Homo-oligomer: A and B are copies of this chain.
Amino acid sequence: MSLINGNINESIDILDRGFQYGDGVFETIEVLNGKPLFLDRHLSRLEKGCKNLLIPAPDVVKLTDEALQLSADVSHAVLKLIVTRGTGGRGYRQPSPITPTRVLTLFPFPDFPEYFSTQGISTRFCHHRLASNPPLAKIKHLNRLDQIIARAEWQDESIQEGIMLDYQGQVIEGTMSNLFMVKDSVIYTPILSDCGVAGIVREIIIEIIKQQMLQFYEQKIGIATLLTADEIFVTNSIIGIWPVKQLQEFEYGIGAMTRNLQEKYQAIRLDRKK
């Protein structure tokens, strides 16, 4: 079920710049009991991304209405929201005026087993690296070939996520998630100034950490630092927080810090669904 610019539709003009060039941004939102969770945060990030790409701010009232319309009577699903620069423009030059396209699509919620959250997941390092490109960093834009190439590196169903590095060998994120690590009760997450996507759950976790006045650094993290962590976990809007029990041949326990953050995040998430 999809809404394109407010109308039920399953196909898009091939001249849309989203299709021609990946010229747009998107959000992936959990829908629970008829409610798109953290919709305000998602719309705010979407707006920021549009601003950075010089796409006129999408109509937040319309997007909210359409998101609620699609989510009504849905118990659990994924809502994907795409905003593109619309059709037109000769080549890369953007059209004037720009009339953005809104596409909202409802997907079934993936059937991840519960034990990914409770017992943790297995991960690997990806060979494919993330290029340093500060103007596009943090934005959840539609140019996703890097993630696709990285995700295509493994078929092994026992590996749930791949960890991506930049070309300097710094740890950045998972192919579909952000990453945190804990060492000696201090929490770290990679700084995303040069590449990576600034996730909504990452943002919420950082807020929880600050409210709890835990020791926390957003900084460069090398491979050796990550491998010697006490706890590692990955986050996104659909999975929430998954502890990492294995990275390559190294094993990790699910520590108190991860459990604490899972609990706090879960409380906020369940509060939102009301």
Contacts and interface: CB of A to CB of B under 8 A. Distances in A.
Interface of A: 2, 4, 9-23, 26, 53-54, 82, 85, 90-94, 103, 105, 110, 128-129, 131-133, 135-136, 141-152, 167, 175-176
Nearest to A94: B152
B144 A103 contact: no
A133 B151 CA distance: 17
A143 B12 contact: no
A85 to B, nearest CB: 8
B145 A53 contact: yes
Contact of A53 (B21, B110, B133, B149): B149
Nearest to A13: B11
Copies of this chain in its oligomeric complex: 2
B14 A144 contact: no
Contact of A145 (B23, B90, B93, B167): B23
Nearest to A23: B148
Nearest to A80: B20
A2 B21 contact: no
Contacts of A54: 149, 152
B144 A22 contact: yes
Of the listed residues A9, A11, A19, the one surrounded by the most CB atoms of chain B closer than 10 A to its CB is: A19
23 contacts: A9-B14, A10-B14, A11-B13, A17-B148, A19-B142, A21-B142, A21-B143, A21-B148, A22-B22, A22-B143, A22-B144, A23-B148, A53-B145, A85-B148, A90-B110, A91-B151, A92-B151, A93-B151, A131-B131, A131-B136, A132-B167, A135-B149, A136-B145
